């Protein structure tokens, strides 16, 4: 069943219902600046595309820099810095033509060499980019990133200033979607050479996207202003955007009600407990939308106790996913018994945890048996630290989860941190078990299953490693037949579920606050909402 079709009271094809004129809304004629105050989940750790990893950073970077492709109003890939491209008959060689006349915000032309420089920098081992693995579809990328080959061997070259060639390891039908990811964006070589790592500071950073970085007040806001040299600037209506960290969603809701925020855009834009109140008192302003995402618990497989597959399985069996989704979250999300969300393109999503059809009593009995075999019981419970993100809804879920685990003689010591700190700890391997979530970087099962590949680096949070799994991923990567590829990926997913590599929890929804005067917002499962497409009514 499609994930989107199963969600209650949601616009399923918002783009289809929009008038054509709305898709390319012209800038409004006004003497006053159009200023947008936007909540943005968390404080960014960096605005360097190669040192970032959160959706809240993507929301800002995607306004400043534009890749070969970009996101349309509904979050789908369209031509960006490239106006067109051709693909060789074998699907391996992609040749992009850049837009003639495009310049950086300092007036220097955007060249194909800026893309070459950017992708080489992403894969340079010295950069230590955690997201480098996303570019491994490019020929020799993995070898360059590991230091086995030099950057000159990378399958990316500038044929001339306006023509870029990218050679892939294997046919990649989702490549246009992947290129909307900020890690593949061009990097202004002339600015990096001048400022080094400080190239992303206000006053130094230049843009080829619709906005320019104006200022950054730590833990308060990031301000961007309209880039008048952007190729489509005439159709960008909003002049200035303030991005505010909104980890505290209760406080964000108060600011929204007071008119301090025009919108709070992110996966958790308002407290779930306030949904009914919002629907009654602010009708049409609270948006619950399905995400192409998975919420899960990741285990640190590097060390005990969760290096033991049986303990991971017992842990997963003790989780009552229906109670967590229907009685605790209460936001339309679905319980998850697999890693890849239903509705993902190019996939049937038939893999699942083998105990999905068992009753909770049967699961708990088997979990207790596995724990007893490992030496854990009521007198000697399994005690571990559980990391989760510090917000009201996160705490409620963590407390209920801990109560479920306690019934199985598993004691969770709850540790909460704000989102950026949480993921720094998880990516650094400084945890025992932790809440994690993944939103699709592109609409294909590969974006999820690649996380469990042993070569995925820091985003394989728990260091899951099964050579047979990696082999299946490699086979799928070189298989041209779509049905056969999907089956290989299904086999890989099932293997990871049988290994209890992670414990899937739910397929989340996004919860956003949008004021009535904000126009051009279109709900989409990718959660891409670029300011370029929005405008404000007086």
What are the tens digits of pLDDT across the range 47-91?
Answer: 999 999 989 999 999 999 999 999 999 999 999 999 999 999 999
Average pLDDT on 438-463 reads 95
**Side-chain half-sphere exposure of 359, counting CA atoms within 13 A:** 3
C-alpha–C-alpha distance, residues 292 and 202, integer Å: 33
pLDDT, mean over the chain: 92
**Side-chain half-sphere exposure of 440, counting CA atoms within 13 A:** 28
Q: Is the pLDDT of residue 329 over 60?
A: yes
Angle at 249 between CA 248 and CA 252, to 5 degrees: 95
Beta bridge partners of 35: 240
- Using one digit for the tens of pLDDT, what is the confidence trace for 498-520? 999 999 999 999 999 999 999 99
From the list 52, 124, 51, 133, the residue with the least C-alpha distance to 456 is: 133
- Using one digit for the tens of pLDDT, what is the confidence trace for 244-298? 999 899 999 999 999 999 999 987 899 988 999 999 999 999 999 999 999 999 9
Sorting pLDDT into bands at 50, 70 and 90, what band is 31?
low
Q: What is the largest CA-CA distance in the chain?
A: 74
- pLDDT at site 268: 83
Percent of the chain with pLDDT over 90: 88
- pLDDT at site 4: 29
- pLDDT at site 493: 98
Would you state the structure tokens that stand for residue 211, as one six-digit string?
């906005």
**φ and ψ of 413, to 5 deg:** -95, 115
Cβ neighbours around 110 below 10 Å, total: 22
Cβ neighbours around 55 below 10 Å, total: 20
Contact residues for 516 (Cβ-Cβ < 8 A; gap 6+): 284, 285, 537
């105990």: which residue's tokens? Answer: 355
Cβ neighbours around 484 below 10 Å, total: 12
Q: Are 364 and 355 in contact (CB under 8 A)?
A: no
Sorting pLDDT into bands at 50, 70 and 90, what band is 480?
confident
C-alpha–C-alpha distance, residues 368 and 408, integer Å: 6
Q: Is 79 exposed, middle or buried (0-12, 13-18, 19+ CB in 10 A)?
A: middle
Q: Cα torsion for 380, 386, 390, 392, to the nearest 10°? A: -50
C-alpha–C-alpha distance, residues 396 and 318, integer Å: 17
Q: Between 531 and 527, whose confidence is greater?
A: 531
- Using one digit for the tens of pLDDT, what is the confidence trace for 139-182? 999 999 999 999 999 999 999 999 999 999 999 989 999 999 99
491 three-state secondary structure = helix
In which element (H, E) is residue 177 found? helix 175-178
Average pLDDT on 118-139 reads 97
Q: Is the pLDDT of residue 23 over 50?
A: no
Q: Are 45 and 254 in contact (CB under 8 A)?
A: no
Would you state the structure tokens that stand for residue 223, as one six-digit string?
């301000």
C-alpha–C-alpha distance, residues 536 and 538, integer Å: 6
Q: Are 316 and 529 in contact (CB under 8 A)?
A: no
- pLDDT at site 167: 98
Q: From residue 501, how far is each of 308, 371, 460 by CA, in Å?
A: 11, 17, 10
Q: Is the pLDDT of residue 368 over 60?
A: yes
C-alpha–C-alpha distance, residues 117 and 189, integer Å: 7
Sorting pLDDT into bands at 50, 70 and 90, what band is 30?
very low
Q: Are 5 and 12 in contact (CB under 8 A)?
A: yes
C-alpha–C-alpha distance, residues 264 and 286, integer Å: 10
Q: Is the pLDDT of residue 463 over 90?
A: yes
Average pLDDT on 212-227 reads 98
Q: Is the pLDDT of residue 14 over 70?
A: no
Contact residues for 102 (Cβ-Cβ < 8 A; gap 6+): 81, 109, 110, 208, 231
Beta bridge partners of 244: 39
Q: Is the pLDDT of residue 15 over 80?
A: no
Residue-range domains of the chain with CATH:
31-65+209-291+509-538 (3.40.190.10), 66-188 (3.90.76.10), 293-507 (3.10.105.10)
pTM (2 decimals)?
0.86
Cβ neighbours around 230 below 10 Å, total: 21
Cβ neighbours around 413 below 10 Å, total: 11
- Concatenate the DSSP letters of all residues of 290-331 into one string: E-SEEEEEEE-TTSSSTTSHHHHHHHHHT--HHHIIIIII-S
Q: Is the pLDDT of residue 461 over 80?
A: yes
């Amino acid at each position: 069943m499609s994930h989107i079709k199963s969600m209650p009271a949601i616009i399923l094809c918002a783009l289809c219902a929009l008038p054509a004129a709305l898709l390319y809304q012209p800038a409004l004629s006004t003497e006053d600046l159009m200023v947008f105050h936007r909540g943005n989940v968390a404080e960014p750790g960096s605005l360097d595309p190669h040192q970032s990893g959160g959706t809240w950073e993507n929301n800002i970077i995607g306004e400043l820099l534009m890749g070969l492709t970009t996101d349309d109003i509904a979050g789908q890939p369209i031509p960006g810095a490239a106006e067109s491209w051709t693909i060789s008959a074998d699907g391996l060689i992609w040749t992009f033509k850049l837009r003639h006349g495009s310049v950086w915000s300092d007036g220097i032309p955007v060249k194909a060499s800026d893309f070459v420089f950017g992708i080489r920098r992403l894969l340079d081992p010295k950069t230590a980019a955690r997201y480098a693995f996303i570019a491994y579809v490019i020929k020799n990328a993995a070898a360059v990133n590991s230091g086995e080959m030099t950057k000159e061997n990378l399958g990316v070259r500038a044929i001339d200033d306006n023509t870029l060639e990218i050679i892939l390891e294997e046919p990649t039908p989702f490549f246009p979607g992947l290129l909307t990811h900020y890690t593949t964006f061009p990097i202004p070589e002339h600015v990096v050479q001048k400022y080094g790592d400080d190239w992303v500071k206000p006053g130094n950073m230049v843009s080829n996207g619709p906005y320019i970085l104006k200022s950054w007040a730590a833990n308060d806001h990031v301000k961007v202003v309209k880039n008048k040299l952007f190729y489509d600037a005439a159709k960008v209506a909003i002049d200035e955007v303030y991005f505010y960290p909104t980890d505290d969603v209760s406080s964000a809701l108060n600011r929204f009600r007071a008119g301090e925020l025009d919108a709070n855009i992110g996966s958790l834009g308002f407290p779930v407990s306030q949904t009914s109140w919002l629907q009654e008192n602010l009708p049409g302003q609270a948006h619950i939308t399905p995400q192409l995402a998975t919420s899960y618990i990741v285990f640190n497989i590097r060390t005990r106790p969760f290096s033991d597959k049986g303990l991971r399985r017992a842990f997963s069996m003790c989780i009552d996913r229906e109670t967590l989704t229907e009685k605790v979250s209460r936001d339309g999300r679905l319980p998850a018994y697999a890693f890849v969300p239903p509705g993902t393109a190019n996939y049937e999503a038939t893999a699942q945890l083998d105990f999905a059809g068992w009753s909770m009593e049967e699961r708990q009995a088997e979990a207790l048996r596995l724990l007893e075999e490992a030496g854990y019981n009521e007198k000697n419970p399994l005690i571990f630290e559980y990391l989760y993100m510090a917000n009201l809804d996160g705490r409620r879920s963590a407390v209920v989860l801990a109560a479920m685990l306690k019934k199985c003689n598993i004691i969770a010591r709850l540790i909460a941190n704000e989102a950026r700190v949480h993921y720094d700890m998880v990516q650094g391997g400084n945890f025992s078990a932790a809440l994690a979530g993944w939103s699709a970087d592109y609409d294909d099962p590969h974006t999820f299953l690649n996380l469990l590949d042993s070569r995925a680096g820091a985003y394989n949070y728990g260091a899951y490693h099964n050579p047979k799994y990696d082999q299946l991923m490699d086979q799928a990567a070189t298989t041209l037949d779509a049905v056969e590829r999907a089956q290989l990926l299904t086999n890989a997913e099932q293997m990871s579920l049988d290994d209890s590599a992670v414990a899937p929890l739910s397929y989340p929804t996004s919860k956003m606050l949008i004021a009535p005067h904000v126009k051009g917002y279109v709900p989409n499962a990718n959660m891409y909402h670029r300011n370029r497409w929005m405008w404000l009514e007086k």
